Amino acid sequence: MTLPHPWAAPLDVIGAIAAHEPTADVVLRIARLARAGRLEAFAHAVLADRELDEATRAWVLELTSDQTVLLAAELYLERARQPN
């Protein structure tokens, strides 16, 4: 899944994330790292991981680049997953 760059339309991005369950799971995990103050260390680990292909590395680093969208996506996804 290719996310728009730059994050010109955060709501569209969040909608695209929510529509793809594996992406939503990754975003939730990265958002939790951001809230825990561990996002910078995670980004360094991603950069250093030579087993990741360049496209995956770039995608994950793009996700880490905007904490506002990341945390908004987390809030949306968690609320959307709550039973009614």
The string of pLDDT tens digits covering residues 12-51 is 778 888 889 999 999 999 999 999 999 999 999 999 999 9
Predicted structure pTM score: 0.77
C-alpha closest to that of 1 among 48, 62, 44: 62
C-alpha closest to that of 23 among 58, 60, 49: 60
Report how far apart the first and last C-alpha atoms of the chain are (Å, whole number): 28
Question: What's the chain's length in residues?
Answer: 84
Asked if residue 4 has pLDDT above 70, the reply is no
Q: Quote the pLDDT of residue 3.
A: 54
C-alpha closest to that of 66 among 83, 50, 43, 45: 43
Tokens 């996310």, residue? 3
Contact 21, 28 (CB under 8 A): no
Domain boundaries, given as residue ranges, for the chain: 52-79
